[in-house]
Amino acid sequence: MHLRRAVAAMAFATGVVVANMYYAQPLEAALAEAFQAPSTAIGAVLTLVQLCYALGLATIVPLGDLLERRRLVVVLLSVVVVSQVVVAVAPALGVLAAAAGLVGLTAVAAQILVPFAAHLAPEGQQGRVVSTVMSGLLIGVLVSRVVAGLVSEVLAGGRCSCSAPR
């Protein structure tokens, strides 16, 4: 029973953490308006998130093999939470960009949680545990885009600012 709760928490955490990388994408037009910035500047911020994520994959994820994973995950999750709060209240585009970059860099906590879950699983249950945690990650990606799209729709007052035709 204890393992089930831990696996569920890890699946939820991976979904929430990875979702942070995608919330802002459908909100590009609303962010450009809010920061009175060209959409290219917001696009650069969104690209920065992805680039920092790639940097985190190359530099932070390997630390999961060298450091205690539990502590590394706690630190990364703490930084991603604080960074996301700063993103939410960012007074200027530069602050938004810096915080968004930290969100991308530390969102790699999801990739550390997956092998950590496998490590905690009893012999013979690693496959089920890993697939459950990975399902949380993939659901987080999909749900984040849907939720952000709905928020964008509401902010646009019913006019879709999406590039896809209706």
Percent of the chain with pLDDT over 70: 92
Q: Can you tell me the mean pLDDT for 47-57?
A: 96
Phi-psi category of residue 124: left, alpha or beta, with phi > 0 → left and psi -120 to 50 → alpha: left
First-to-last alpha carbon distance for the chain, in angstroms, is 46
Per-residue pLDDT tens digits for 104-144: 999 999 999 999 999 888 898 889 999 999 999 999 988 88
> 10 near 117, Cβ under 8 Å?
yes
Domain 2-155 indexed as CATH 2.40.10.10: no
What is residue 125's three-state secondary structure?
coil
Structure tokens at 29: 């037009």
Per-residue pLDDT tens digits for 73-99: 999 999 999 999 999 999 999 999 999
Whose tokens are 């969104």? That residue is: 46
Structure tokens at 106: 């530390």
Q: What is the pTM of this model?
A: 0.84
Q: In 3D, which of 71, 66, 47, 55 has the Cα closest to residue 108?
A: 55
> 68 near 120, Cβ under 8 Å?
no
| Mean pLDDT for all residues in the chain | 88
- CA 154 to mean position of chain CA atoms: 22
